[in-house]
Chain A
Amino acid sequence: MMNLLIQHIWGVYIAIYLFLGGMGGGGMVVSYYFCCRRNDNKLAVISAITSLIIVIIGVLFLMLDLEKPEKFYLVFVSPHLNPHSMIFIGSSILTSFITFGLLFVTAIEFKWPSFLGKIISLLPWYGNRSFTSAMGILASIAGFLTAFYTGVLIGVLKSAPFWHTPALPLLFVASAFSTGVVGVLLVNETIGIMAPKSERHKYQEYCSILGEWDAILISIELLIIFTYIFLFTYGPEEAEASVYLLTTGSLAPWFMGGVVTMGLAIPFLLEYWHIFSESRGGKPSCALPIIAAILVIIGGLILRYVVLSSGVMTIFLPPS
């Protein structure tokens, strides 16, 4: 008999933090693509701002989970600072993400609302293309690292074998990019609705591109999930218990229903259907990718929650 315990210390707030961190990080990379590869500054600026806001809200959730949020500054200035702690590393990554993200957003040439526009146009780097591109690359790297870090934070822990695997950061990165892409897809649709009719075809095209990317990312995610779960059915025993919890136990409705079916399989089919009907010359519409996007976002959040809730550990092994 083993003494199995399920982690219950990190719950919904940390799950939201990990999810938003990943989504914002992924979204920033997509914003860079639209700015500096597609020259669509409007979509790039609004997506990048949305990504920044998403990450900042995520950080607020992390703060809410702290026992002493007012002492968060100690992560950077404690006299006994531990630079090897993933929380310190993560906080540094988040700080650079927000810094480079802001520099990137304010450097892109864009018609800001009047008052804000006056301030931003005064910035020496505003409109500087090479600076925009450099900051975009740095913000994208920081975005990738933010997404990666959300998985590493949990992955470095040996206490629960189900977490201590390279598959976890890879899964979180794939999910971060998938949710980031669909986040931009929703931003794109909002801009598209408000755009004059003559410009709408452009947003329709973007919608298809983003939908295609997401279909690819979802297939990668499904492959990682399958490998992750399948390998852990062979042990160790704690990880087997985690797999049991997720596939047939109390978390099964959330994982099998919420993540795998609703958050991945159905969106994949919807996106595939969209690509298929478009290739057949069907009526251009972004309806299916939008439904898929909403499902992917809900699924991404549930994924973080179920991974946190399935950390099974053992304290005591009886002598053989």
Chain B
Amino acid sequence: MTKYGMVIDLGSCLGCGACIAACDFENQTPWEEGKRRTHVPEFIFGEYPNVERLFVPRLCMHCEDPPCVAVCPTGASYKNEDGVVLVRYDMCIGCKYCVVACPYNARYVDERKHAIDKCTFCYNNRVSQGREPACVESCVGGARIFGDLEDPNSEVYKLIHSGEAVPLRADLGTHPKVRYIFRRKKREGD
């Protein structure tokens, strides 16, 4: 069994937006309407002199307990055998309940498809053919790490099991498979 996941190392994100461009191109998102599968918002917090600036790339968290799937009446939103949350566009009636239910704001209405769309981890177009998602492949700083969360030899497995990579809004109990490294632990040679 494979369970795909992603770790995003915030210390390595430059905020360049290459992932956004690669995703828009790969997945032909309606970006001109501001609807994208991944975003890179900037956050500045703390008070002078302890101010921190972070870019927090955002995408579908491919939750283990996805609220979008739980609310979908027709089963158009589903989690596949590899743990990736996808949409059956022909089954989607566009009620938008999933868009409202998603606590990560990962979904949007694609007017061209008359359906809801979201990040697919490039499952059908890349991952199933052994390639990495477009955002991962294009990341200049190597901030996005993709792999199998059930493979103990994968980097994502090690980062998550070391406790270094943590989920956003763990309090919601959705068990996201996209995790974040806020502060990388010092390693030998660093």
User: Do the two chains bind?
Assistant: yes
Collect the chain A residues with CB atoms within 8 Å of residue B183's CB.
319
Collect the chain B residues with CB atoms within 8 Å of residue A113's CB.
none
Interface 1/0 per residue, B93-115 and A, CB below 8 Å: 11111011111110001010011
15 contacts between A and B (CB under 8 A): A10-B100, A65-B95, A66-B95, A67-B114, A67-B116, A75-B93, A78-B73, A81-B74, A81-B75, A84-B70, A85-B97, A87-B73, A157-B71, A315-B104, A316-B56
Quick check: is B48 within 8 A (CB to CB) of the other chain? no
Query: Contact at A82–B72, with CB atoms within 8 Å?
Result: yes
Give A157-214 interface residues, CB cut-off 8 Å to B: 157-159
- In the complex the two chains form, what is the Cα distance from A5 to B39 in whole Å? 14
Quick check: is A282 within 8 A (CB to CB) of the other chain? no
Query: Contact at A7–B100, with CB atoms within 8 Å?
Result: yes
Quick check: is A9 within 8 A (CB to CB) of the other chain? yes
Query: Contact at A311–B45, with CB atoms within 8 Å?
Result: no
Q: Tell whether A85 pairs with B71 under 8 Å between CB atoms, given A318-B43, A318-B45.
A: yes
Give B18-67 interface residues, CB cut-off 8 Å to A: 41, 43-45, 54, 56, 58, 67
Interface 1/0 per residue, A293-316 and B, CB below 8 Å: 000000000000000000101111
- In the complex the two chains form, what is the Cα distance from A156 to B103 in whole Å? 13
Query: Which residue of A68, A79, A156, A313 is within 8 Å of B75 (Cβ)?
Result: A79
Q: Nearest-CB distance from A75 to chain B (Å)?
A: 5
Query: Contact at A80–B88, with CB atoms within 8 Å?
Result: yes
Query: Contact at A314–B74, with CB atoms within 8 Å?
Result: no
Q: In the complex, which of the residues B100, B105, B109, B169 has the most CB atoms of chain A within 10 Å of its own CB atom? A: B100
Q: Tell whether A3 pairs with B43 under 8 Å between CB atoms, given A67-B114, A79-B75, A158-B103.
A: yes
Query: Which residue of A72, A79, A158 is within 8 Å of B93 (Cβ)?
Result: A72
| Chain B at the A interface: SS class | loop
Q: Nearest-CB distance from A272 to chain B (Å)?
A: 38
Quick check: is B16 within 8 A (CB to CB) of the other chain? no
- In the complex the two chains form, what is the Cα distance from A84 to B77 in whole Å? 13
- In the complex the two chains form, what is the Cα distance from A81 to B182 in whole Å? 39
Q: Nearest-CB distance from B70 to chain A (Å)?
A: 7
Quick check: is A317 within 8 A (CB to CB) of the other chain? yes
Quick check: is A86 within 8 A (CB to CB) of the other chain? yes
- In the complex the two chains form, what is the Cα distance from A311 to B101 in whole Å? 11
Quick check: is B14 within 8 A (CB to CB) of the other chain? no
Query: Contact at A5–B105, with CB atoms within 8 Å?
Result: yes
Query: Contact at A66–B75, with CB atoms within 8 Å?
Result: no
Q: Tell whether A1 pairs with B45 under 8 Å between CB atoms, given A67-B94, A72-B93, A91-B73.
A: yes
Query: Contact at B96–A65, with CB atoms within 8 Å?
Result: yes
Q: Tell whether A10 pairs with B104 under 8 Å between CB atoms, given A87-B71, A314-B169.
A: no
Interface 1/0 per residue, A61-93 and B, CB below 8 Å: 000011111011011001111101111100100
Q: Nearest-CB distance from A309 to chain B (Å)?
A: 12
Additional pairs, 4, CB under 8 Å, beyond known A81-B74, A316-B169:
A10-B100, A74-B91, A82-B70, A316-B168
Query: Contact at A315–B168, with CB atoms within 8 Å?
Result: yes
Q: Tell whether A75 pairs with B73 under 8 Å between CB atoms, given A68-B94, A80-B78, A316-B56.
A: yes
